[in-house]
A and B are shown apart, each in its own frame.
Chain A
Amino acid sequence: MEQQIVKVKNRKGVRVIPGYGLCMGVTLTMLGSFILLPLCSIFFSTSRLSVQEFKEIVTSPQVVSGYKVSLCCAFCASLVNGVFGMILAWVLVRYDFPGRRAMDGLIELPFALPTAVAGIALTYLYSDKGWLGSLFAKMGIKIAYTPVGITIAMVFVGIPFVVRAVQPVLEKLDRQYEEAAAMLGAGRAYTFFHVILPEIVPALLAGAGLAFARGIGEYGSVVFIAGNIPYKTQIAPLLIVMKLEQYKYSDATAIAFVLLIFSFTLMLLINSVQIYMQRFNKG
């Protein structure tokens, strides 16, 4: 990787690969107008509030409980996604079976499906009158309209991130490692935990991190299944919408701002863990 980047200029100082300026221009324009500008508008809108006001808004009990619900559910969902996403990726990469291609395509469905549709479908399925929900209801477990339901919706929207992150790493993984481990007398579990897992952990973390961030921000599918009871099942994005309904734009952006910080810190953390692990693995 690094070698490719170093040698882009030849001796005359002209880049070997043409189109640098053109591509960079496109990239900057896209980044600027579609990512940075909207984010800046959040900062500007929030900066209209005084520090005191900002504090009051983001620490009000309802908002704090919203953060808690969103973060806890997103965390649980990313754990579930991490484990099952990895298994899914494993199955898709390592085994050949009829319908593998179709299954592979299905993974991305949550990306393509409008989230509201997903939310309605999940609620229909998991409410205590629905197909799956009624089975659980017999055991006394309520899924829809509880935090469990929120988590399920987040698992749904997050799973592709994990699978798509882990899959290429697994594909590239040299099977000779496993063979060598087996030859040296490692058991299957030992091989998995000490040979395979360290290789895929960075990708797994990245995928789970993306799923987590997506879960925090997820609105469309969650509102349908959440029940939206204040202090119990009210997610932070719903509170943002609520503030907007009351024409309190700055309040809404203040809540959004905190969510953004959460996500950003998380991404940063995961990235640094990844870099650290890559170095560690190489060394």
Chain B
Amino acid sequence: MKRITAVCWMIIVMVITVSLWMSGCVGEADSSTDGMEGTELLNVSYDPTREFYSRYNELFCRHWQESHGEEVHIIQSHGGSGSQARSVIEGNEADVVTLALAHDITAIEESGLIEQGWQEKFEGDSSPYTSTIVFLVRKGNEKGIKDWDDLVKEGIEVITPNPKTSGGACWNFLAAWAYWQKQDGGDEEKTQEQMGRLYKNVLVLDSGARGATNTFVENGQGDVLIAWENEAYLAMDEYPGEYEMVTPSVSILAQPSVAVVDKNVGDHGTEELAEAYLGYLYSDEAQRLAGENYYRPMNKEILEEFSGLFNLEMNLVSIGDFGGWDKAYETYFRDGGVFDQIYSGKE
């Protein structure tokens, strides 16, 4: 009668644990496709689109049911645009991504999950809806905030997220930059000085757009929130009569981008569905829905229908004026870039 030695036991346990673990992972992947009825589609998006996509998904599911007679389940994931992109790169099996800026989708493209040329796949640089950057102030606008210049005055407290962690904050930064570029006739140094004054007034630099909104709205911090237009409207809906929106004379055309994650849809066999899901964003119904959720529809005619809601007179620069996202990111937001210089200057 031989005894199994201690070492044998150890090895057996290790092997069993590891194999159970592995099979656990595989089993999980299987059940996620087999367990549910109908097809599943994972849309990885950023923070402020939560309300829009939850309504759009209903619309699309109905449309798909009618046209294909098939039930689809759309799963939504929201978070900071950058971290969402990273989660996709690291293996979150998104079928489509709908993120705050093209730069984040380019990052996924670089990892090989999305094929090149995704921006030409859908109309309007694959931005079915756009937004812009506005100010949200407290009721009565006691500090008299009308334009970017008012934000750099002494004693004004500004809330905006950190461009290094928030896609939305990059748009905020660039909108302000564009304004002072126009004011100072393109003098970079002067613009940077003004930006320094602006960020000196920033009280809290949250890591995401929703976080900044919460700081301003729930915690009552600051006099003005630099925000997405749709976030500003949502906050005003949530707290009627407590906030006012101010549209600055110059702002930026924020183009959230959408793309099919080619590799993942290939693995899931959801190419057609994913294409249709994003394509349907351009339908009249979806465009109108975007407008109702305070996104500016890409379709000009439908945008006109919402002219009462959106200030169409604003002078909007676009990311093209900055030479595209990659260049803008490299100049302003990389380590040691303009944004870092602004802060290290006032150490």
Chain A residues lying within 8 Å of B322, measured Cβ to Cβ, are none
Cβ of A49 under 8 Å from chain B: no
The CA of A106 and the CA of B164, in the complex, are separated in Å by 38
Interface CB pairs A-B, < 8 A, 22? A22-B13, A24-B6, A24-B10, A25-B11, A25-B14, A29-B18, A62-B340, A123-B215, A124-B218, A127-B219, A127-B220, A128-B221, A223-B207, A227-B203, A228-B162, A228-B206, A230-B343, A230-B344, A245-B80, A246-B333, A248-B335, A251-B335
Q: Does A229 contact B (CB under 8 A)?
A: yes
- A88 CB–B CB distance under 8 Å: no
Mark interface residues in A230-257 (1 if CB within 8 Å of B CB, else 0). 1100000010011011111001000000
In angstroms, Cα B12 to Cα A229, docked, is: 52
How many residues on B have C-beta within 8 angstroms of the other chain's C-beta atoms? 44
Q: Are A124 and B80 within 8 A (Cβ)?
A: no
- B205 in contact (CB, < 8 A): yes
Q: Which residues of A123-155 have CB atoms within 8 Å of chain B's CB atoms?
A: 123-124, 127-130, 144-145
Q: Which of A20, A224, A244 contacts B6 (CB 8 A)?
A: A20
Interface on B for A, CB 8 Å cutoff?
3-14, 17-18, 21, 80, 82-83, 86, 89, 107, 162, 164-165, 202-207, 211, 214-215, 218-221, 333-335, 340, 343-344, 347
Taking residues whose C-beta sits less than 8 angstroms from the other chain, chain A's interface range is 35 or more
Task: Tell me what chain B mostly uses at the interface: helix, strand, loop, or mixed.
Answer: helix
Residues in A whose Cβ lies below 8 Å from that of B83? 241, 244-245
With a cutoff of 8 Å between Cβ atoms, the chain A residues found around residue B12 in the complex are 25
Query: A19's closest neighbor in chain B, by CB?
Result: B9
* Chain A residues packing against B (C-beta within 8 Å): 14-15, 20-22, 24-26, 28-29, 33, 60-62, 120, 123-124, 127-130, 144-145, 223-224, 227-231, 238, 241-242, 244-248, 251
A25 touches B10 (CB 8 A): yes
* Given A25-B9, A144-B219, 6 other A-B residues pairs in contact with their CB atoms under 8 A: A24-B6, A33-B21, A224-B211, A231-B347, A245-B80, A246-B82
CB distance from A245 to the nearest CB of B (A): 4
Contact A145 B347 (CB under 8 A): no
Which of B165, B219, B334, B343 lies at the interface centre, i.e. has the most chain A CB atoms within 10 A of its CB? B219
A25 to B16, CA, bound (A): 10
Contact B13 A29 (CB under 8 A): yes
CB contacts (< 8 Å) of B344 on chain A: these are: 61-62, 230-231
